[in-house]
Chains A and B, each alone.
Chain A
Amino acid sequence: MQSKVFSDATSALAGILRDNIVVMSGGFGLCGIPENLITALRDSNVKGLTVIGNNVGADNHGMWAVLANGQIKKVLASYVGENKILEQLYMNGGVEIEFNPQGTLAERIRAGGAGIPAFFTRTGYGTVIADGKETREFNGEHYVMETGLVADVALVKAWKGDTEGNLIYRKTARNFNPMMATAGKITIAEVEILVEPGELHPDQIHTPGIFVNRIFKGGNYVKHIERLTTRPHDNATGGNA
């Protein structure tokens, strides 16, 4: 069997990217985003992308770079604030945005990866989100039908991984990454630490390697913080609460 391990983001994406494909990209805000893969996606210059993610980066960071490079046609997201270029493109029709409630987006991705074509949720009933969608009553409550999502390629970021593609995430950098790993026709994972099989405890693996087609050790992580918030030490000055 061919190894899943690649040397870097560019080689891991080789032969996969084309114009007009659907790309999932993990992260919440800028936390847990696949930084190396996003940079390589921008450098590839493929166009007409549909991007599925909770956000589309933020000014000067993350998926913003791919957007600013004119590569994105459509976005599925739950929140797109702090992104001036997206605002301009949306207002002048340069990019289409499909807003999804955050939990609905997460569940659509989970469903897609688990082979579930659609499900019913109370979320969004009686709002514009339900417009044009099938609704049904179960036990006296109203539900909206939402469909599962899959992508041509899913880009995920984990903390540790092994050469089999098993992944472990760290703290709140987990967010959308585990579901997206399951919902890519091809899933590429970048990790901060890449180890040999046996070095990760099998009971502690979050994403089993079956979901991961390609893996590499990323470098130069910026991990930009959007809202640095601290508290002062007692009897000390400093901190910008």
Chain B
Amino acid sequence: MAWTRDEMAARAARELKDGFYVNLGVGIPTQVANLIPPGIKVTLHSENGMLGMGPFPYEDEVDPDLINAGKQTITELPQTSYFSSSDSFGMIRGGHINLSILGAMQVAENGDLANWMVPGKMIKGMGGAMDLVAGVPRVVVVMEHTEKGGASKFKQRCSLPLTGKGVIDLLITDLGVFEIDRKGGGVALIELATGVTLEEITAKTEATFSNRLK
């Protein structure tokens, strides 16, 4: 037993706070948009130049001039604003976006993140990921705990080229939740996923962590 992708997204949604400006990456993080807790206001940022992303359009509302960073058609809201890419990354680099939730290939116990290239495979590019993890004050990663072959993706050191060095604050996997001190103060396991034991998560984790389960 472990968390499903939906349950991982739901756990990530608990990191949202009232008034937050949030950037969501592709994959599981995108699902967080549908799970914003009732009673709080969250404004979604799209790095191609938009604040206040609305839902996907109805078929008769589709506008090719209105897409998100994943190049999907979307809609605007009454509070929406548009701006250039340099203003957009000024928001990111300048620390104005409160929270970034994104996926990963590997995470290390020192807060390093690798999610943009695998040597020997075609490199597609990092897009805005390096800017997001370097500029946003709180970075949450959502990823599967292990590779398909069973190897831990939460490592002592990343073996893949880095997206950012010492940039992650919280790691949510299908097995549990870890707090990471990006200044090198170590990792603490703070939650276990439904049906997961401390023994199982310990056996499947290469990174060193302390137990702060309540």
In this complex, what residue of B is CB-closest to A31? Answer: B67
Chain B residues near A125 (CB-CB < 8 A): 134, 164-165
Please tell me which one of the listed residues B64, B85, B112 contacts residue A175 in the complex, with CB atoms under 8 A apart: B85
What is the CB-to-nearest-CB distance from B146 to chain A, in angstroms, rounded to a whole number? 24
Please tell me which one of the listed residues B50, B70, B124, B131 contacts residue A103 in the complex, with CB atoms under 8 A apart: B131
* B84 interface residue per 8 A CB criterion: yes
**Which of A10-18, A126-134, A196-204 is near enough to bind chain B?**
A126-134
**Known A127-B130, A229-B56, A230-B56; contact A172-B67, beta-carbon cutoff 8 A:** yes
Q: Mark A215-241, 1 if CB is under 8 A from B, else 0.
A: 000000001111111111100001101
What is the CB-to-nearest-CB distance from B189 to chain A, in angstroms, rounded to a whole number? 25
B86 close to A106 (CB less than 8 A)? yes
In this complex, what residue of B is CB-closest to A181? Answer: B84
Please tell me which one of the listed residues A80, A106, A175, A225 contacts residue B62 in the complex, with CB atoms under 8 A apart: A225
Q: Considering the chains assembled together, what is the distance between the CA atoms of A121 and B63 in angstroms?
A: 34
Chain B residues near A175 (CB-CB < 8 A): 48-49, 84-85
Chain B residues near A241 (CB-CB < 8 A): 56
What is the CB-to-nearest-CB distance from A178 to chain B, in angstroms, rounded to a whole number? 4
**Known A103-B131, A127-B130, A171-B65; contact A28-B48, beta-carbon cutoff 8 A:** yes
Q: Considering the chains assembled together, what is the distance between the CA atoms of A106 and B85 in angstroms?
A: 6
What is the CB-to-nearest-CB distance from B167 to chain A, in angstroms, rounded to a whole number? 9
Q: Considering the chains assembled together, what is the distance between the CA atoms of A80 and B74 in angstroms?
A: 22
**Known A81-B124, A172-B49, A176-B84; contact A31-B65, beta-carbon cutoff 8 A:** yes
A-B interface pairs (CB < 8 A), number: 183
A127 close to B55 (CB less than 8 A)? no
Q: Considering the chains assembled together, what is the distance between the CA atoms of A175 and B82 in angstroms?
A: 9
A176 close to B85 (CB less than 8 A)? yes
Chain A residues near B62 (CB-CB < 8 A): 225, 228, 230
Q: Considering the chains assembled together, what is the distance between the CA atoms of A169 and B65 in angstroms?
A: 10
Q: Considering the chains assembled together, what is the distance between the CA atoms of A177 and B112 in angstroms?
A: 33
Q: Bin chain B's interface residue count.
A: 35 or more
In this complex, what residue of B is CB-closest to A124? Answer: B130
Q: Which residues of B from 63 to 92 have beta carbons under 8 Å from A?
A: 63-74, 76, 82-86, 88-90, 92
**Known A54-B85, A127-B161; contact A103-B73, beta-carbon cutoff 8 A:** no
Chain A residues near B64 (CB-CB < 8 A): 31, 223-225
**Known A101-B126, A124-B134, A224-B64; contact A174-B59, beta-carbon cutoff 8 A:** no
What is the CB-to-nearest-CB distance from A195 to chain B, in angstroms, rounded to a whole number? 19
* A179 interface residue per 8 A CB criterion: yes
A-B contact pairs, 21 of them (CB 8 A): A79-B124, A79-B126, A80-B124, A103-B86, A103-B92, A103-B130, A104-B130, A121-B134, A123-B131, A170-B65, A172-B46, A172-B49, A172-B65, A175-B84, A177-B84, A225-B64, A225-B67, A225-B73, A229-B56, A230-B57, A233-B59
Chain A residues with CB under 8 Å of chain B are 28-32, 54, 77-81, 87, 90-91, 97, 99, 101-104, 106-107, 109-110, 121-129, 159, 169-179, 206, 223-233, 238-239, 241
Q: List 14 other contacts, CB 8 Å, given A104-B131, A230-B57, A230-B73.
A: A29-B48, A78-B127, A79-B125, A90-B123, A97-B123, A103-B85, A103-B86, A103-B88, A103-B135, A107-B89, A123-B93, A127-B165, A172-B67, A176-B85
